[in-house]
Structure 1
Amino acid sequence: MADLPECPSASDDSLLPDELRAWMLVLASTGAVEQRLRSVVKERLDVSHDEFLVLCLLAEQPTGLRMTQIAELLGRPKTRLTYQIACLQHAGLVTRQAVCGDKRGVEVALTDKARRLLAESSGQLAETVLQALDQFMGPAQREAMRALLPGLASEADAQ
């Protein structure tokens, strides 16, 4: 976007230290991405954004994760996560099983159906993330973020 303000860290008269300005940029960028992803996730996977985050965590695990680990990683209350996992299980996207040797432990894993849906949707989801970040960030932020996301358009590409 041509009318974005300069990168906040470029200002010498800021009240906030660089670390807090960077954190605020991360939060704002995350919000922009989440807003865009919500509709794409619902359309492509027919799950909520929070359920999508669970699927993404599980996609990075070869076997699965304990419910307590998922709750900690997402910063979600265990009761809310239990409901989300039940919805995902009902949709045939995850399985739940007791952890061997731990009566209270429950491990959650992706089903083949979930893996197929994520594989089919990943390109469009990745493009949605890049578009949201590209539209939200100014040139300096895009340059800093490009180290993490090489597909993010350069300033010349964005014009």
Structure 2
Amino acid sequence: MRKIEEPRWLTVEQQAVWRSWLNAVNVIQEYLESALREFDLDLGEYEIMVHLSEAPDHRLRMSELADRLRHSRSRLTHTVTRMERQGLVARTTCPGDRRGVIAVLTQTGWELLVQAAPYHVQSVREALVDPIDPADFEALGRAMQAVVNARS
């Protein structure tokens, strides 16, 4: 744990923004999760399928997939195991590297993603994009990228 000499407390305005952000993240996540429940998916599973669908041959090394999702390898392994039981993904060994494992989006997974994607996009629009003024949405994108850049 890093040592903090003197905490820089948030101002009242900063505290209000911070709490609005926390509340919004929870509201958005709940909304997106509820839309995906119809497809027996959660947001984490959906994101795994999206990343695999965008990869060449719908396959990625598990370690690369974990990095892209910013998940721990154990968390990803647990989720992929559950998805594998549902027939949405499969795992195979990496050619030329027996220790490497590759996650592959199955045909069943692809078909479910194609079916769920329009509903997910609609829920993203309803939960985040449409309620925000376009200029504010652009500013939000810049702000979130600044956060990512500061921690990457």
Asked whether the two chains share a fold, i.e. TM above 0.5, the reply is yes
Secondary structure at 1:105 match in 2? strand
Question: In the aligned structure 2, how far is the partner of 1:69 from the partner of 1:30?
Answer: 26
Point out the structure with the larger helix share: 2
2:120 maps to amino acid:
L
Point out where structure 1 has 5 or more consecutive residues left out of the alignment. 1-13, 16-20, 147-159
In the other structure, the counterpart of 2:120 is 125
For CA contacts below 8 A with separation 6 or more, give which structure has more relative contact order. Answer: 1
Q: CA deviation at 1:32?
A: 4.4
1:54 maps to amino acid:
I
Q: C-alpha offsets along residues 50-70 of structure 1, whole Å, 9 cap, x if unaligned?
A: 122111111111321001011
2:33 maps to amino acid:
R
Question: In the aligned structure 2, how far is the partner of 1:54 from the partner of 1:139?
Answer: 28
In the other structure, the counterpart of 1:62 is 56
* Structure 2 residue 83 is matched with structure 1 residue 83: no
Identify the match of residue 52 of structure 1 among 39, 46, 51: 46
24-33 or 95-104, larger mean C-alpha shift: 24-33
Question: In the aligned structure 1, how far is the partner of 2:20 from the partner of 2:65?
Answer: 25
Change in Cα spacing, 1:29 to 1:66, as seen in structure 2 (3 Å) is farther
TM-score (norm 1): 0.66
Count of paired positions:
128
Question: In the aligned structure 1, how far is the partner of 2:56 from the partner of 2:138?
Answer: 33
Secondary structure at 1:137 match in 2? coil
In the other structure, the counterpart of 2:29 is 34
Change in Cα spacing, 1:32 to 1:135, as seen in structure 2 (3 Å) is farther
**Mapped contact 2:46–2:113 kept (Cα < 8 A):** no
Identity across the alignment (%): 30
Point out where structure 2 has 5 or more consecutive residues left out of the alignment. 1-12, 142-152
**Mapped contact 2:36–2:43 kept (Cα < 8 A):** yes
2:86 maps to amino acid:
A
**Mapped contact 1:32–1:133 kept (Cα < 8 A):** no
Q: CA deviation at 1:145?
A: 7.2
Supply the RMSD in Å over aligned alpha carbons. 3.1
TM-score (norm 2): 0.69
Question: In the aligned structure 2, how far is the partner of 1:102 from the partner of 1:26?
Answer: 43
